Amino acid sequence: MRRACLAVTLSLVVACNGGSSMPADDVLDVDAAVGTVDAPDGWQTLVQGDWSLNMGEEGYYCVYATVPRDMYVKAFRPIIPPGTHHTVLTRYTGSQPDGTVRCSAGTNGQSMIYGSGVGSPDFTFPAGVGLHLTAGTRLLLNLHLYNTSDQVLTGTSGTLIQEATAAEIQNVGEIVLAGPTATLVVPTGASTQSGTCNISNITSQPIQVFALSSHMHKLGTNLRSVVRRTGSPDIVLQDQPYDFEHQNFQLVAPFVELRPGDVLTTTCSYNNTTGATVRFGDSSDDEMCFTDLFYYPAQGANFICTGF
């Protein structure tokens, strides 16, 4: 397993500022707004940040925020205006003050609690599952942004939540992205690439997968996730076409139990019409291949699990 940055996110390993005109970590503003009740239909702003990109620019902004009180979360809504490639929301333990700064793809906390991609809809946890954010918890929202237009693009990206009561949340979740990283190479034409994640690298106890998503970039056509367990039939988690413009978590019913020693293989199919080999990377013009696992109980695990 190697630690990296997502998404999906989410989103996520190769540091690349895309020719940003400001150095990484220059402070731009302080607009993080945890718990702000200014959204419609019972939604609250958890964290959000303003950004601006020159025409053709790809880059990253990081929004740091501190949770002011105990909060229980039962649903997420992404704020993803045009130009938002993906968002990665992690728990953060560093010293960067609250606010929004230029950053890099690798600027993340260790454990991931939410992520969104292009076209991601609302996500509602299944009954009894959610998040518990204690007062003083630091959050880090990494925004991967790409302006493909011929003019300056500005926006506000972030995450809204719906709160729950403590009694509604018996199980606390987190996200791990499982698949190949540095070994991913996509040749021209149609091809299939794969990588593994040993569940022992995530947890020393059984975990319950309650939602699944897929993450590739623009060349991806299909993703298949299979769990191999010694002495048991293979478990097919998902095998479905991939659409870069519509990335979302799907609830799993019943939940799927994964155990230490299980090996998850993520297999991605591509149609590379660029005329050149495409490698792993965070840019929209690079590629990825991740099974996104949303499970409980949270382990504080590094959110990238990769083998070979």
What pLDDT, in 10s, does the model give residues 124-139?
A: 999 999 999 999 999 9
| Identity of residue 258 | L
Residues 105, 127 within the same domain: yes
Q: What is the pLDDT of residue 245?
A: 84
Residues 205, 162 within the same domain: no
* Total domain count, the chain: 2
Instruction: Say which residue, 9 or 113, is predicted with more confidence.
Output: 113
- Final residue before a domain boundary, out of 112, 135, 170: 170
Asked if residue 7 belongs to a domain, the reply is no
Flag whether pLDDT at 31 surpasses 60.
no
Asked if residue 156 belongs to a domain, the reply is yes
Query: Distance between CA 282 and CA 304 in Å, rounded?
Result: 13
- Final residue before a domain boundary, out of 137, 152, 170: 170
Q: What is the pLDDT of residue 39?
A: 57
Asked if residue 163 belongs to a domain, the reply is yes
- 56-60, 281-285, 291-295, range with the lowest pLDDT: 281-285
Q: What is the pLDDT of residue 10?
A: 34
Query: Distance between CA 168 and CA 72 in Å, rounded?
Result: 8
Strands (E), 93-219: 99-102, 112-116, 123-124, 128-133, 138-146, 153-164, 169-172, 174-178, 185-186, 189-198, 207-215
Flag whether pLDDT at 17 surpasses 90.
no
Q: What is the pTM of this model?
A: 0.85
Which of 189, 207, 192, 187 is CA-nearest to residue 266? 192
Residues 271, 189 within the same domain: yes
Q: What is the pLDDT of residue 55?
A: 95
**CATH assignment at residue 37:** 2.60.120.310
What's the distance, Cα to Cα, between the start and end of the chain in Å? 9
Q: What is the pLDDT of residue 26?
A: 43
Query: Distance between CA 270 and CA 139 in Å, rounded?
Result: 34
When pLDDT is averaged across residues 153-165 and rounded to a whole number, the result is: 97
Domain encompassing residue 32: 27-170
**CATH assignment at residue 286:** 2.60.120.230
Flag whether pLDDT at 204 surpasses 80.
yes
- 22-31, 155-164, 224-233, 265-274, range with the lowest pLDDT: 22-31
Assess whether the previous peptide bond of 82 is cis (omega < 30° from 0).
no
The size of the chain, in residues, is 308
Percent of the chain clearing pLDDT 70 (strictly above): 87
Flag whether pLDDT at 21 surpasses 80.
no
Instruction: Say which residue, 272 or 308, is predicted with more confidence.
Output: 272
Q: If pLDDT is split at 50, 70 and 90, which confidence band does 22 have?
A: very low
Asked if residue 254 belongs to a domain, the reply is yes
Torsion angles phi and psi, residue 168, rounded to 5: -80, -20
Torsion angles phi and psi, residue 200, rounded to 5: -60, -20
